[in-house]
Structure 1
């Protein structure tokens, strides 16, 4: 009986233990494993003199696995030992799902020993032990930055708000990382008046928003730009310029800028007094101030910002306007207006017979003209405008061999949809290639308006010139 009872007890024990193993046993988790792949061929772990240390920017890759699961996450960090200075820096752990990392090792000492370690986490939440590799890195020099524009001490026309065409102060810059053999610039950042630095961006030009300038605006402001290289090292001596801002008042009506040379008098050599008297007559009844470019130079941003309209004329074939086109462009962007006229004045931008203008050219950006062609014959008799009115050449002011009309007048071949014909070419010859083509155009925009006459008004008959002048000023609201 006793044997029977013992047999039953043993059988039940074996059955109980066996069932528990089958349904409730949990095998211990095996942690994942990880190893760092071999470094590039210039590994200098053994000696930093025979092969040379690494550049600070390196891609580190690793392999990982798990015998009873799979890796789901990795984390890495590095510790920098500055071998000359004798101190160390410990970086924070960074998590990633990738099996590689682009690491810019901190390398501010002449020679740096980097301890890189990486760990793997498996699908059960356990971490591996660290895989470790050592790298020597050489010192990373700081990049250098240069501001191209504006220039130191520039005075800039400024609005405290943006418009359709005005986006702020135009800032262009560049940088170099020539002190680092494998280095390159990867971004630029800027700030105004010691404010917050902008985020780094790869572009080498930007508009500094008006909101970054603190009032009062009409004072000296400091703009700084710094660069960063591919080893994540920033320029610690940012480039800077000091600029003065001028908020245009547009309180006065017209500034008449005369670029015509002072001649000896007679045909095609008018004196300064002759030209001044002519423009005073055709502008009779309008309020304007005169500025002689030949004796006074360029009027400057401060002065032009006082006027709603600039009339710039050059009644001979030498021009300086193109030297100041950038400033005039700034004036237009803040709401000024321009009337530009002269003897083939478009040739100041290019003397070629056939010219195509593109984005970045003053003629395209501000006059809204795409192309022009030069008429080399002396057959410009005048122009038609409005409802058939005309402005005709005054041949008494020309050399005798120009009796048929003026030479070197351009016609507008292509223009944007916002630019309209204003004055059309009248030919005195049988050549119809230029007949009826626009030699004067008007652009009326929401921010500014421009008029271009590619012929010299001084050599037109005064009555017709006065009428066309009155019509143009009406367009400008003056």
Structure 2
């Protein structure tokens, strides 16, 4: 479903495979998919999700009983207030779960998202026929937009037409939440869905980042800008495998130095520095294409940054 994009895939099925925040921050977008009916790993990463989104990252959450997964619980329905991660970050105030007699045939797309149908060849339990069970309905908070509603085979279901997918596109971060498992849907539908998400997140198709993906071994370092494009400020996140003398500089498309952000020595680890769109004179740069370069004695990484008004 991500064949049009440059991506890394991580399998997380055991405690030994558990990711940490440092695994998230090099990426402008993180997709968290939990299509296993009994998976509960997400509950261990709430603080990681918060920090990543606070940095301005993009996240897609999708899965089966995902609220249970996040809460390490099994007590639908749920109500959330502004003390909850699910309310504040996922923009959900209420969640419920359809039952055994509610037969999902697909999801109806809104706001530019495609309709999605259940793949009848992937139904995990024969007695379910050509439909799925146990799909989340959610109530969005102000600021979130509906992108999917439930389409039941039995239209008399109380869950028919209920919301099951939302997006939040903010100045602080972008997020899409889908209360249904992607694996069990028609693959062609999901590819179009993913393209819609990536378009909302500002990700480009078919771009080969020759600096980060082709020439540079991943384990030596990483550089990213979140958000990108930016209008006011972006966080430059970089990762070092070993202690290094680091320079981070911003250049314009003509190769002229705009501003030096870092000239110092750092231990191995993950770091963040902000660029406020200002040049060396303290003036805001015009919209256009810029480049952020991380350089040490051993590596040089370039990241394209787009500035918009």
**TM-score (norm: length of structure 2):** 0.60
Instruction: Tell me the residue number matched to 2:60.
Output: 339
**SS state of the match for residue 411, structure 1?**
strand
Of residues 28, 31, 54, the one that matches 1:311 is: 31
Shift of 1:388: 7.8
- 1:343–1:409 CA contact under 8 A, matched in 2: yes
Q: 1:384 aligns with which of 94, 108, 133?
A: 108
Aligned to 2:120: 395
The 8 Å contact of residues 62 and 182 in structure 2, kept in 1 or not, is answered as yes
Structure 1: 4+ residue segments shifted above 4 A:
none
Alignment counterpart, residue 168 of structure 2, candidates 443, 446, 462? 443
Per-residue CA distance 1:388-418 (angstroms, 9 max, x = gap): 8311111211122111411111111x32111
- Distance (Å, rounded) in 2 between the aligned partners of 1:366 and 1:372: 15
Give, in angstroms, the shift of residue 374 of structure 1: 1.0
2:91 equivalent among 336, 358, 368: 368
User: Secondary structure of 2:13's partner?
Assistant: helix
Who is 1:431 aligned against? 156
Return the offset for 1:342.
0.6
2:9 to 284, 290, 309: 290
Q: Distance in 2 between matches of 1:315 and 1:423?
A: 18
2: distance between equivalents of 1:410 and 1:303?
28
Per-residue Cα deviation, 1:21-41 (whole angstroms, up to 9, x for no partner): xxxxxxxxxxxxxxxxxxxxx
Distance 1:358 1:385 in 2: 27
Q: Contact 2:80/2:93 (CA < 8 Å) preserved in 1?
A: yes
**Aligned positions of 1:248-263 closer than 5 A:** none
* Equivalence for 1:120: none
| 1:77-476 paired onto structure 2 within 5 Å | 282-294=1-13, 297-317=17-37, 318-348=39-69, 349=71, 350-377=73-100, 378-386=102-110, 389-398=114-123, 399-412=125-138, 414-476=139-201
Unmatched 5+ stretches in structure 2: 204-309
Distance 1:388 1:304, change over 3 A: closer
Q: Does the Cα contact within 8 Å between 1:374 and 1:410 map onto a contact in 2? A: yes
> CA–CA distance in 2 between the matches of 1:292 and 1:381?
28
Q: Secondary structure at the match of 1:358?
A: coil
User: What is the alpha-carbon distance in structure 2 between the residues aligned to residue 369 and residue 392 of structure 1?
Assistant: 24
Decide whether the 8 Å contact of 1:395 with 1:402 is kept in 2. no
Instruction: Tell me the distance in 1 between the aligned counterparts of 2:18 and 2:85.
Output: 18
In structure 2, what is the Cα distance between the partners aligned to 1:351 and 1:420?
26
Contact map agreement 2:115 2:189 (CA 8 A) in 1: yes
> Scaled by the length of structure 1, what TM-score is found?
0.40
Which residue matches 2:232?
Answer: none
Q: 1: CA distance between counterparts of 2:194 and 2:113? A: 15
Q: Distance in 2 between matches of 1:423 and 1:435?
A: 12
3-state DSSP of counterpart to 1:293: coil
Shift of 1:358: 1.7
Q: Any conservation in 1 of the 2:140–2:166 contact (CA below 8 Å)?
A: no
Aligned residues of 1:439 and 1:453 also touching (Cα < 8 A): yes
Q: Structure 2: how far apart are the matches of 1:316 and 1:352?
A: 18
**Conserved in 1, the CA contact under 8 Å of 2:113 and 2:193?**
no
Q: Gapped runs of 5+ residues in structure 1?
A: 1-281
Counterparts of 1:347 and 1:393, CA distance in 2: 22
Whole-angstrom CA distance in 2 between matches of 1:391 and 1:313: 17
The answer on whether the counterparts of 1:425 and 1:434 sit within 8 Å (CA) in structure 2 is yes
Mapped to 2, the partners of 1:428 and 1:357 lie a distance apart of 29
* Aligned pairs (5 A) from 1:47-58: none
Contact 1:370 1:416 in 2 (8 A): yes
SS at match of 1:458: coil
Query: How far is the alpha carbon of 1:356 from its aligned partner?
Result: 0.2
